[in-house]
Structure 1
Amino acid sequence: MQESTTISNLAVALAEEGISSFRFDFSGNGESEGTFQYGHYRREAEDLRSVVQFFNGGNRKASTILGHSKGGNVVLLYASKYHDIPTVVNVSGRYKLDRGMEERLGKEFLEKIKKDGYIDIKNKAGEVLYRVTEESLMDRLNTNMHEASLNISKETRVMTAHGSEDEIIPIDDGIEFAKIIPNHKLCIVEGADHCYTSHQAELAAIVVPFIKEGFHKGN
């Protein structure tokens, strides 16, 4: 999985405002070791916990966590379990994790995975990109973002940014987060797709001020 241009561009925008950031790949993603897993959202939240503790144990203190797409889910899951990060930014995370699976895995995916134990996801050339196991599939299906969102502290500032033309995760998912997370700001980027292909500047224009505001409030 290549690093998201969305995340790297946000890091540049933050740096221009004098805010340092740290980007990392979860286990099995990008340059990190391990095997990519389709589910394991909570395992990735624990990866994030290790990163936060690393910086908090040094001469820096993490004040904001931000994730895009699956990473958006991970930062929300982190905030639901640990209450040590004052500002959380969910960029296009998915509220209903049981959606979008048929498009990726094919029709009758549950029957197929129960029969074979796995489904291989291939590219157009027929090469296997990664394997979805029954364990990882059930992990995703059993991850309840509604319950997790209810456990986020009202002291935690949360922003959800979502593109109005997101073709992968419907804007309805962002709206659902806004309904249940207590201290929440929903920002819809008009015309933006899932990767903010033509709306990188617009995304930065809402995310960076929200993070800066946290510093003024004592994050």
Structure 2
Amino acid sequence: MATRKSTKLRIPHSQDDCELVGILEQLVPEEPTQGRKIAMILHGSLGHKDYLFQKRLAQRFPMDSFRFDFRGNHESGGKRTQSGIGRDVEDLVVVVSYLRSTYGYEIDVVVGHSRGSVVGIYWMCTSEEGQRARAMVNVSGRYRMDRIHKIYKGQWDAKGYYERTLTVARQTVVERVYPEDLVTFSQWNTAIVWDKFPAQVDVLTMHGLHDKTVPAYDAVLYSRALGARTPGTHNLHLIDEADHNFTNRQDEVVDCILEWWDALNQRRLKTGIFMTGVRGKL
């Protein structure tokens, strides 16, 4: 009987002369991968490839998948900055190119959380491979980038930057955020989604109604931008009492994505609110 296989890959990155580290999940590793479809799973700010629901989803998704650490995060080399969304897009381009040239994979769906959603959406809007993809899952994605200023308002010290200490993958990480980082971050063009997002891609947007990092109204804005396309559909799923990271609700996120994916493959999707039969309650 064929069994799922997890393989750690180290992908060279010429920009920082470093490696991007990720996990390739294969359902039938003994079969050829040329032309096979794959899911790309992207983590958010100061996250990593096994953060939150990412690993759980990868191990249950009915398709090969790849999840990796962006530059400067967890096991990947290079430097991370708050303003480096463009660098994250470069990382995704490098990874997609490697999976295509080494294995023959074609990206079928992108699942992103928070910053990873912003990166995935932009990649779909601007890359040839993204234009050929079939689906996108946008979890806690930020649309109004300028709202980042409210998070750091009044927190600059005499040194001219804000420093915070966090625990990422059980390791202590010290991050410095400079005012110029926020300016660059706030100017990132999410409005590209209105005109450049591929028309055929089906999208699921998920958001917690108690999200204090990215207000749930950003999910409504994505619904407006993506809900008028054809033949692609857009579904919105809001989770009551869930925060930005879906604390203690991550299995619910995975269940919802898998149920939506099943509906997509059965061609049962219509643009509108998506309610699950697994945990949905009135």
Superposition deviation, residue 13 in structure 1? 2.6
* Cα deviation 1:5-32 (Å, max 9, x = unaligned): 2212222231xxx322111011111111
Q: Distance in 1 between matches of 2:186 and 2:252?
A: 33
1:163 — aligned with what? Answer: 208
Pair 1:179-2:179 in alignment: no
2:70 — aligned with what? Answer: 26
Superposition deviation, residue 215 in structure 1? 5.2
Pair 1:43-2:87 in alignment: yes
Matching of residues 80-99 of structure 1 within 5 Å: 80-82=125-127, 83-99=131-147
* Cα deviation 1:107-152 (Å, max 9, x = unaligned): 276xx8xx96x5132238xx97222245532321211212344310
Structure showing greater Rg: 2
Superposition deviation, residue 2 in structure 1? 4.5
Aligned 8 A contact 2:85 2:185 in 1: yes
Q: Gapped runs of 5+ residues in structure 1?
A: none
Q: Distance in 1 between matches of 2:112 and 2:106?
A: 18
1:204 — aligned with what? Answer: 254
Aligned 8 A contact 1:161 1:188 in 2: yes
Secondary structure class of the residue paired with 2:137: strand
Superposition deviation, residue 212 in structure 1? 4.3
Aligned CA RMSD, in angstroms, stands at 2.5
Q: Gapped runs of 5+ residues in structure 2?
A: 1-45, 167-171, 268-282
Aligned 8 A contact 1:86 1:214 in 2: no
Secondary structure class of the residue paired with 2:141: coil
Paired AA for residue 9 in structure 1: R
Secondary structure class of the residue paired with 1:62: strand
Superposition deviation, residue 97 in structure 1? 0.8
Aligned 8 A contact 1:76 1:149 in 2: no
Paired AA for residue 32 in structure 1: S
1:9 — aligned with what? Answer: 56
The change in CA–CA distance for 1:108 and 1:121 in structure 2 (over 3 A counts) is closer
Superposition deviation, residue 96 in structure 1? 0.6
Q: Distance in 2 between matches of 1:128 and 1:79?
A: 31
Secondary structure class of the residue paired with 1:205: helix
2:198 — aligned with what? Answer: 153
1:101 — aligned with what? Answer: 149
Count of aligned pairs: 206
The change in CA–CA distance for 1:128 and 1:52 in structure 2 (over 3 A counts) is closer
Q: Distance in 2 between matches of 1:176 and 1:144?
A: 14
Secondary structure class of the residue paired with 1:22: strand
Q: Distance in 1 between matches of 2:262 and 2:94?
A: 24
Q: Percent identity, aligned pairs only?
A: 26
Aligned 8 A contact 2:147 2:186 in 1: no
Q: Distance in 2 between matches of 1:128 and 1:119?
A: 16
The change in CA–CA distance for 1:2 and 1:162 in structure 2 (over 3 A counts) is closer
Secondary structure class of the residue paired with 2:176: strand
Q: Distance in 1 between matches of 2:155 and 2:175?
A: 19
The change in CA–CA distance for 1:214 and 1:52 in structure 2 (over 3 A counts) is farther
